[in-house]
Amino acid sequence: MLFLDTSALAKLYFVEAGSAAVFTLVKENVDQVSTSVATYAEVLSALARGLKEKRLSNEHHQAQKRAFSGRLGTRSMSSN
């Protein structure tokens, strides 16, 4: 089992130090990745902060939110 905390999971949605390593670990353990319930809200918060700080464009923010929601099996997200 591969447990990802918020900081590790966020590396899948932001290009930063360690992103490639996390991506590789997830790819190698795709059926065994887990995280905490709180991570859902924390990653959405990180994505919103990335938009506010102009680290993400609006289009990239929306695309990353959809990708994150899709990975968790969530059907839709409200726009903020």
pLDDT in tens, 18-70: 999 999 999 999 888 899 889 999 999 999 999 999 999 999 999 999 998 88
| Region of residue 73 (phi > 0: left; psi between -120 and 50: alpha; otherwise: beta) | left
In a domain, 27, yes or no: yes
- Tell me, letter by letter, the H, E, C secondary structure of 68-80: HHHHCCCCCCCCC
Query: What 3-state DSSP class applies to 17?
Result: coil
Residues in the chain: 80
Residue 80, pLDDT score: 39
Domain that holds residue 53: 2-71
The total of structural domains in the chain comes to 1
In a domain, 30, yes or no: yes
Residue 21, pLDDT score: 97
Radius of gyration of the chain (CA): 12
pLDDT band of 79, cuts 50, 70, 90: very low
